[in-house]
Structure 1
């Protein structure tokens, strides 16, 4: 009896026990659906994280005051005041491969516009900051090098600030007057929204020219950090070494002394976070896949019960000429059909959950077609693996003993 001839009889046998067949496939359905939903959630989260990290800039190095190396008591990165604007100028002119660089001075401040006020983060930066952080101006324009040189009282608002100071129409902020620490500024631009990042709300910021911040707001030659972009990823490591040597020389640090600054590579942060996200997705997917194995064990148990219940039927078929391989094939097909049916329903349920999560819970998902194919193939293998033992047991029954079975 060829395999195609066994399929109708296998389906008829499963149809005769609908309730048991449905309950048997539940383990596979739950396993496949869980794998697809979890992988979809994981890939969506990974893509969301990647998008947020890209907002920090690609091939971007951040230099902050303070050291994170060496033994004994030491100040943490960002806790000292060892960097100056002149350091940024020196790095920009003496290190190869720098596509753009800006010192940054910032702090929290109360911003007032008419009767509205908002406490936010104010950062004084050079115009190249827009390129380094991949900011898009939604209304108006970004300030220029001329604004920076002249220490002009102009400002660019993030969406959160614009929405709170000008709630009726944030874009109408362009051309309006605001006060930052009682210093008047003219709004010349409103940034497009970036959303929340790992440092909080990226849109809750006011950007002003660097010289303006130094002269009119913060009154300090020290800078909180230096942000720079490397023109090519292959130049990041040599540029980092050159920056370290240059700053050590400028800060007159001797051999054996720790750096009084820290250089951070955004690409390393992106890779680490993406790696953690992928690991968590694989881990959760693996946990969900365990239910597939449990479902396979359930199929094996039910098939063993079926063999016992149908012992007399098997004996009759063997007595009238059926070959053991025909019996083996029928029971194996029944197990595989059960598993595949569970896999198909599980895929539909999993995709339904994946498509519903963004609307119901606001979680980002990505349809994992590779996981769909893998889960379906794995469900077929589960049917073969856990169906082979009951099928072999059925095919090896002695016809005489089987006919006497009550």
Structure 2
């Protein structure tokens, strides 16, 4: 760009500083929103993936839940057919490394006169290994507890914190109408989407089935596969075995669900993705609105300075020079707004990370996209006023001077 063009550009910007500022603010707002929303969406997805990895629910894991398809959140098939015998049958498969059956439900739990409904999980000692979990204090359920249907309980970290973290080991907690001895507290795990992992109590599986829920079936089983197992083939084989064991043939629907890590991620990020898509659409619409503002303000500027433009044309400026002038101005506004919008989004991300539990995930790709979006918007919507300026007839306008 020549020094003369730079001078003309600076003069134009200074002469229209209010309009230019208005254009830049609309672009900066749109791009800040675009960058921040994208960063929050990516952060939510990463948090889910990290939590799944922390729970040892990666590509070599499956979750089998009792009950088949659901309509409006209600299971449409029986949910009492998944048994411990099914788990033993699955353990014989060559690609199954480990199984961890469980049952779960909301029951009334009370401690020192305070009662509330809490989630109680019945599990086996292998639960910690299967979920990559450790005790924070005390010990976990052992084989003897399972064999003797022992009335012992291990608390999730948040439950323990609610009841009084440092003084619970050996204390008795009432679950329904029976007292259970607290033998341990698990380390903090956080949450999976909106599901709090640390607000649960754990008892031996046999205790849960016989003393608390009075059932002979389980709610689910986590299956860890041998490394390099093809997950689709494993799902197909497991489904075949469970259908045979449950007497399901032909078009009879499954009375169980097999859930893969990809399905969990899709489920827990669906809401955030929908919201992000909606907000991104709004941001893109605001970019288009910014473009319309650019076009209108530049068109008004062209009409106001028609005489000056005509004079420049009369003195030898070509249509190419006029168009280039306006497009360079649009490019300058776009790049400046894009950069400031990126800096503003970094500030917003920092404040969100500082003041809220949210952890926006920065991406250089988003920064480049914001520059591309702002550039395309500015240049595209500047074409009309630029072409209009280049077509001004100096002979007609100069008659009025």
TM-score range (shorter-chain normalised) is 0.7 to 0.9
Shift of 1:297: 2.1
Task: Measure the CA separation in 2 of the matches of 1:233 and 1:272.
Answer: 22
Matches within 5 A, 1:110-189: 110-113=108-111, 118-166=116-164, 170-181=165-176, 183-189=178-184
Task: Measure the CA separation in 1 of the matches of 2:46 and 2:381.
Answer: 37
Structure 1 residues 395 and 3: alpha-carbon distance in aligned structure 2, compared to 1, 3 A threshold? farther
- Given candidates 187, 193, 207, the residue that maps to 1:192 is 187
Shift of 1:382: 2.2
The size of the alignment, in residue pairs, is 395
Structure 1 residues 15 and 155: alpha-carbon distance in aligned structure 2, compared to 1, 3 A threshold? same
- Asked whether the equivalents of residues 100 and 123 of structure 2 are also in contact (C-alpha less than 8 Å), the reply is yes
Q: Which runs of 4+ in 1 moved over 6 A?
A: none
Residue 265 in structure 1 maps to residue 259 in structure 2: yes
Q: Unmatched 5+ residue regions in structure 2?
A: none
Structure 1 residues 385 and 246: alpha-carbon distance in aligned structure 2, compared to 1, 3 A threshold? closer
- Given candidates 241, 255, 264, the residue that maps to 2:236 is 241
Shift of 1:95: 1.7
Matches within 5 A, 1:28-39: 28-39=27-38
Structure 1 residues 75 and 342: alpha-carbon distance in aligned structure 2, compared to 1, 3 A threshold? closer
Residue 376 in structure 1 maps to residue 371 in structure 2: yes
Structure 1 residues 303 and 148: alpha-carbon distance in aligned structure 2, compared to 1, 3 A threshold? same
Q: Unmatched 5+ residue regions in structure 1?
A: none
- Partner residue, 1:26: 25
- Asked whether the equivalents of residues 112 and 165 of structure 1 are also in contact (C-alpha less than 8 Å), the reply is no
- Partner residue, 1:325: 320
SS at match of 1:121: strand
Shift of 1:80: 3.6
SS at match of 2:362: coil
Structure 1 residues 206 and 233: alpha-carbon distance in aligned structure 2, compared to 1, 3 A threshold? farther
Residue 345 in structure 1 maps to residue 346 in structure 2: no
Q: After superposition, give the CA deviation of every residue in 1:303-331 in whole Å (9 maximum; x if it has no partner).
A: 22222222222233333344443333222
- Partner residue, 2:395: 400
- Asked whether the equivalents of residues 103 and 209 of structure 2 are also in contact (C-alpha less than 8 Å), the reply is yes
Structure 1 residues 378 and 110: alpha-carbon distance in aligned structure 2, compared to 1, 3 A threshold? closer
Structure 1 residues 355 and 258: alpha-carbon distance in aligned structure 2, compared to 1, 3 A threshold? same
- Partner residue, 1:256: 250
Q: After superposition, give the CA deviation of every residue in 1:113-140 in whole Å (9 maximum; x if it has no partner).
A: 5555554222221122223334332223
Moved more, 297-306 or 193-202: 193-202
Matches within 5 A, 1:209-224: 209-214=204-209, 216-218=211-213, 220-224=215-219
Task: Measure the CA separation in 1 of the matches of 2:194 and 2:391.
Answer: 67
* TM-score calculated relative to the size of structure 2: 0.84
* TM-score calculated relative to the size of structure 1: 0.83
Residue 14 in structure 1 maps to residue 13 in structure 2: yes
Task: Measure the CA separation in 2 of the matches of 1:201 and 1:361.
Answer: 17
